[in-house]
C-alpha cells in the first residue's frame, strides 16, 4: 500500500522563484542602465557634431554653444568650443548617474563622465 507523505513540499518552488526573480530583476535593471548610457552618449555625440557643423558657417563661440545645447535635448551639457583658422572643434561632457546600484559599485563612484568630441574643417 502506498502512503502519501504528511508534509507538503510546495514551499520549495516559492523559494526558487524568489531567488531567480531577484537575479532576473537586477539583470533587467543593469540592461536598462546600459541602454540609458548608450542613448545619452549618442545624444552628446550628435550635439557635438551638430555644434561643429554650425561652427563651420558661423564662428561665433556663443552661438555654437547655444546650438550644441539645443541639440542635446533634456541634457545638461558643458560644450567647449575651440576655433582655429582651419577648423572648429566642439567637445561635450555629461555626468551620467546610473539608477542601478550595481553599476555604482562597479564604477566606484555615483556617476560616469561621458565625453564626445567633433572636429570639422572650415572650407575657404
pLDDT value for 2: 57
pTM score? 0.79
Cell of 26: 537586477
9, 19, 69 from 93: Cα distances, Å: 56, 39, 11
pLDDT at 105 over 90: no
10, 29, 67 from 32: Cα distances, Å: 34, 5, 29
pLDDT in tens, 56-81: 999 999 999 999 999 998 899 999 99
Rounded to the nearest integer, the mean pLDDT of the chain is 87
Helices of type H across the chain: 11-57, 61-71, 101-107
Across the beta sheet with 87-96, what order do the strands follow? 78-83, 87-96, 112-121
What is the end-to-end Cα distance of the chain in Å, rounded? 99
Residue 86 banded pLDDT, cuts 50, 70, 90:
very high
pLDDT at 9 over 70: no
Task: Map out the domains of the chain as residue ranges.
Answer: 11-121
Amino acid at each position: 500500500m502506498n502512503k502519501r507523505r504528511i508534509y507538503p513540499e510546495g514551499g520549495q518552488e516559492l523559494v526558487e522563484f524568489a531567488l531567480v526573480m531577484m537575479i532576473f530583476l537586477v539583470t533587467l535593471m543593469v540592461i536598462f542602465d546600459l541602454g540609458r548610457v548608450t542613448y545619452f552618449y549618442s545624444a552628446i555625440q550628435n550635439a557635438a557634431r551638430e555644434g561643429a557643423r554650425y561652427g563651420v558657417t558661423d564662428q561665433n563661440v556663443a552661438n555654437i554653444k547655444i546650438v550644441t545645447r539645443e541639440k542635446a535635448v533634456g541634457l545638461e551639457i558643458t560644450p567647449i568650443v575651440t576655433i582655429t583658422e582651419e577648423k572648429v572643434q566642439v567637445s561635450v561632457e555629461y555626468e551620467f548617474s546610473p539608477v542601478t546600484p550595481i553599476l555604482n559599485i562597479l564604477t566606484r563612484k555615483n556617476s560616469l563622465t561621458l565625453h564626445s568630441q567633433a572636429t570639422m574643417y572650415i572650407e575657404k
